[in-house]
Chains A and B, each alone.
Chain A
Amino acid sequence: MMKQWFVKYFGIALVALIGLSDWATAQNVEAVSSISADTILPGQQITYEINLKAPEGYLVEWPLWEDTLSKEVEIIRHKDVEQLPLDDKGNVWMRQQLTVTSFDTGVIRIPPIALHFSPKGDTSKYEALSNGLFLRVIPVAIDTSAAFKPIKGIQKAPLTFMEILPWIIGFLGVALIALFLVWYFVKRQRRTTEMPLFEKPKRPPHLTAIEALENLRHERLWQNGKVKEYYSQLTDIVRLYIEQQFHVLAVEMTTDEILSGLKHFSINPEAMQKLSGTLQIADLVKFAKAQPTALENDLSLDHMLDFVKESYGNGQPAEAAFSEENQDKS
């Protein structure tokens, strides 16, 4: 009997001791929650703060927040968990602030938040509950006697710096490109204006032609039976001279076209006659197997020399000839 009594009360004492131990452990950890205002309008944002006090070395599992605290209370954003310095009793204080709101009117209960922790050197998990809170959401007072107001248009949100940043970068980029182009063209302009200073002056076409004609004379082509080659070179020299001196594309022109093209220039008629005669003889030699006499061969070169010498000062088209032509065309 005695033995039964002992076992019963010893068991009760043991359970009580264990419960007391848990209670004592929980008493060391304290969770407190508070709100910055207990009465708000729908949608008004307040700060919900949760503080936890625990001895140093306790392992705390902080809750992971979702969108809501409860069915009626929404979390807008939350700050990071802060850890405060140890107090004089060797406790650690942890704090987190959440921005919350509610859109439902009435008295809303914010439930206690459960925070789990493990004491130092113990793998068991314990729970500390914060205090529950009440939040009063009062409706907006509506003046029913006032007239209806028109619906407001969509309001633009103020521009943020990040929105403006791409425009600023773009503008700076364009400005830089423009500056580079200005610099490049100014530099190039300077270079091109400076270039002529170092450019070797071009040789006048008539000097080149005279020299080439004299060289042709010394080559003695027709004397060696190369009459066709002689006349080909003779006409090529004069056609190149005409092209360079008068800017008439004589190399790509036929005899008639060359003579017609030179009509606009005030060239001595006698020189023109010499050119025309020689070009015609050259055509006969080149295209009709003509065999001019030795005198004609010599004269042809002399005539071409005369033409070059007499025409080189007439590089500009005669104004009278041009104006007459333009009148005809109009």
Chain B
Amino acid sequence: MIVTDIKELNEKIQRESQFIDLINLEMNKVIIGQKSMTERLMIGLLSNGHILLEGVPGLAKTLAIKSLANVIKADFSRIQFTPDLLPADLLGTLIYSQKSEEFVVRKGPIFANFILADEINRSPAKVQSALLEAMQEKQVTIGEKTFKLPDPFLVMATQNPIEQEGTYPLPEAQVDRFMLKVVISYPKKEEEKLILRQNISNEMPATNSVISTEDILKARAVVREVYLDEKIENYITDIVFASRFPTEYRLKKFEKLISYGGSPRASINLALAAKAYAFIKRRGYVIPEDIRAVAHDVLRHRIGLTYEAEAENITTEEIINEILNTIEVP
């Protein structure tokens, strides 16, 4: 069998994606279980997207992104969002220097490769929008000067699903800027036993830096080259359109349950995430399995439910499942 172009691409991907195994090896030293979270972090990193993480406290969210930053020899900042946080605390500000008798720029913690925005919904909208604007523009203006943010720039924001009092939920338009919304759950019993042993022993394993940020930037370029066939494009648009116009896709029952469906950004991110997933799986082309693997994470925060759906305890997960089970696979 002759595979034109793709064969070369596959070989290139085999070469360029070797670091994936190294990253996994290092990450597995400190993170037990949560394979999906690590994989999603890699997808975000490779496709230049940001991640919104939802999970109860203590599930190694901070440890994961800190370890990833360490493995990639990158800067890491952790910002705890609180109700009194100001945009300047995040982005930086101008400070008057008595020595030089002029205002100097003091950059904020956002100037790092990896940002953990912990409990993003605890801060008011002005701080949230400052972060989300920086995420979108990849640059920050302090005073009269505009500073580019470092590349790669990955934001992992967390939300606690159990405490809603005194929070400022992210508006739909802001949530849409996150490429993936990952829901993480508790580890399995066996995994928890390993976590327990690791934490009560005297020696805590440490990660080593195995690749540089330049390698990641190179890998990103390769990810963009991953082949996406027209059949897969149609499959993606069918899935997103089914979330917008369910009746046209034999899903009339969702007509009153979905208030709004996925945006064009959903289609773009579904394609990009699928490409990154194929890259992680060492493939030079996207197959329907890749789309299905990332569909939940790309769509769950982009489908709005109506009051009827909430009254009937219907979740976006169920809607996405039904859409995937109804749309014909190419």
Enumerate chain A interface residues (CB-CB to B < 8 A).
232, 249, 251-256, 281, 283-284, 286-293, 296
Contacts and interface: CB of A to CB of B under 8 A. Distances in A.
Interface stretch (B37-45, B260-268, B282-290): B282-290
Contact residues of A: prevailing secondary structure = helix
A286 B1 contact: no
Nearest to B325: A252
A290 B329 contact: no
Given A254-B287, A256-B289, A287 B1 contact: no
B1 A288 contact: no
In this complex, the member of A232, A289, A290, A291 whose beta carbon has the largest number of chain B beta carbons within 10 angstroms is A289
Interface string B4-15: 111000000000
B1 A251 contact: no
15 contacts: A249-B325, A254-B288, A255-B287, A255-B289, A256-B289, A284-B285, A286-B330, A287-B231, A287-B288, A289-B5, A289-B6, A291-B1, A291-B2, A292-B1, A293-B1
Interface string B317-330: 00000001111111
Interface string B276-308: 000000001111110010000000000000000
Contacts of B284: 288
B179 interface: no
A249 B285 CA distance: 25
A221 to B, nearest CB: 16
B3 interface: yes
Most buried by B among A255, A286, A287, A290: A287
A175 to B, nearest CB: 37
B287 A283 contact: yes
A287 B2 CA distance: 14
A232 B285 CA distance: 17
B324 A252 contact: yes
Chain B residues touching A, majority SS = mixed
Interface in B107-136: none
Interface residues of B, number: 24
Nearest to A252: B325
B328 A287 contact: no
B327 A232 contact: no
Contacts of A252: 324-329
A254 B1 contact: no
B241 interface: no
A252 B5 CA distance: 29
A251 B286 CA distance: 19
Q: Which of A253, A256, A293 has the most CB of B within 10 A?
A: A253
Contacts of A232: 231, 330
B6 A288 contact: yes
A108 B329 CA distance: 105
Contacts of B329: 251-254
A288 B232 CA distance: 11
B310 interface: no
B229 interface: yes
A280 B284 CA distance: 15
B227 interface: yes
A255 B287 CA distance: 9
